[in-house]
């Protein structure tokens, strides 16, 4: 019995080694000498002009994610073209991908990214890559795929926006209470305070309003203004831009939704404060610089002139 168990263990071990060896074929790129392992090997190569879709994950040596297509609405893709030369090891790997390939490798940040490696990495830092090609599509197929994916993403984005409006309302209301503001709230989720009533007719969509403004984050940092002196005081002055009232064709989608809605509530000469939840501002993408993703914004606005 003991000998039989030993023999069985040896057979299982040999079978395991055989499976691992057959599944994990290794290759080395001619350029850069990247050693890559086929966790799974595909067989179908995309014809010239067709598109190969892939999933990609890039991590640091300690597995912190640098980039992943799982975090994006669309997978990665490349258009097959046999005439494109490989200029580095990464090119070799991607240009030779086949549907069904699952590849793992690691190298230095400089080899993986070239000269444009992320600033938080040193060129010799280890970077790990996981790459899997899963589908081939022609031009019509990929257009249909991306249109359908975009539509589905818009639905998801709208649902996330509804949730954020509710969540951020609590933050805005706490801010309003802390500042002692007498704020009103619209059905969409915009908070506004009319500090000085204006005069004249109600504003209708298409009206041009000239607006002086100052935009702040909730922590009080100024990120933009039409007031030159205020810009200088807060070290954001830009000599290459004008500091004049901003003309806005109201209600026409020229500005963020919070502004489009808020300005329609004002009249000529009015002063107001807008507290804008992120879905009515720059949303999940932010606007670069100080305005990050899902940033709640505060604007002081003054209507200098109205032209219908």
Structural domain spans, the chain: 2-142, 163-307
Residue 9: the pLDDT is: 38
Dump pLDDT digits (tens) for 207-264.
999 999 999 999 999 999 999 999 999 999 999 999 999 999 999 999 999 999 999 9
State the fold for domain 2-142.
Chitinase A; domain 3 (3.10.50)
207 closest CA partner among 255, 263, 261, 249: 249
Q: Report DSSP letters for 53-114, one per residue.
A: EEEEEEEETT--EEEEGGGSSS-EEEE--TTPPP-SHHHHHHHT--BT-EEEEEEEHHHHHG
- pLDDT bin (cut points 50, 70, 90) of residue 308 is confident
Average pLDDT over residues 136-142: 97
State the fold for domain 163-307.
Chitinase A; domain 3 (3.10.50)
- pLDDT bin (cut points 50, 70, 90) of residue 14 is very low
Same fold, 2-142 and 163-307: yes
Residue 299: the pLDDT is: 98
Q: Is 23 a residue whose pLDDT tops 60?
A: no
Residue 20: the pLDDT is: 42
Residue 146: the pLDDT is: 94
195 closest CA partner among 304, 277, 269, 256: 269
Separation CA 125–CA 308 (nearest Å): 60
Residue 241: the pLDDT is: 95
The average confidence (pLDDT) of the chain is 91
- Does the predicted model carry a pTM greater than 0.85? no
Average pLDDT over residues 196-205: 93
Distance of alpha carbon 223 from the chain centroid: 20
Residue 303: the pLDDT is: 98
């Amino acid at each position: 019995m003991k000998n039989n168990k030993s023999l069985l263990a040896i057979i299982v071990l040999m079978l395991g080694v055989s499976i691992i060896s057959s599944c994990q074929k290794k290759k080395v790129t001619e350029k850069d000498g990247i050693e890559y392992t086929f966790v799974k090997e595909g067989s179908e190569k995309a014809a010239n002009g067709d598109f190969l879709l892939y999933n990609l994950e890039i991590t640091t040596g300690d597995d912190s994610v640098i980039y992943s297509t799982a975090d994006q609405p669309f997978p990665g893709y490349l258009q097959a073209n046999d005439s494109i030369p490989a200029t580095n090891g990464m090119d070799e790997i991607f240009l030779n991908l086949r549907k069904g390939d699952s590849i793992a490798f690691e190298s230095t940040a400089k080899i993986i990214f070239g000269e444009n490696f992320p600033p938080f990495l040193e060129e010799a830092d280890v970077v790990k890559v996981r790459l899997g090609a899963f589908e081939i599509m022609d031009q019509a197929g990929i257009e249909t795929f991306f249109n359908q994916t975009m539509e589905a993403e818009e639905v998801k984005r709208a649902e996330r926006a509804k949730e954020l409006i509710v969540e951020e309302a609590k933050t805005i209301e706490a801010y309003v209470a802390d500042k002692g503001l007498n704020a009103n709230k619209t059905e969409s989720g915009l908070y506004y305070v009319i500090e000085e009533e204006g005069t004249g007719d109600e504003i209708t969509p298409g009206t041009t309003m000239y607006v002086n403004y100052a935009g702040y984050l909730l922590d009080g940092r100024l990120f933009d203004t039409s007031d030159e002196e205020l810009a200088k005081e807060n070290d954001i002055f830009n000599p290459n831009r004008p500091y004049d009232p901003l003309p806005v064709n109201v209600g026409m989608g020229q500005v963020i939704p919070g502004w489009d809605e808020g300005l329609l509530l004002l009249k000529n000469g009015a002063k107001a404060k807008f507290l804008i939840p992120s879905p009515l501002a720059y949303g999940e993408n932010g606007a670069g610089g100080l305005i990050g993703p899902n940033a709640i914004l505060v604007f002081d606005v003054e209507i200098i002139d109205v032209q219908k």
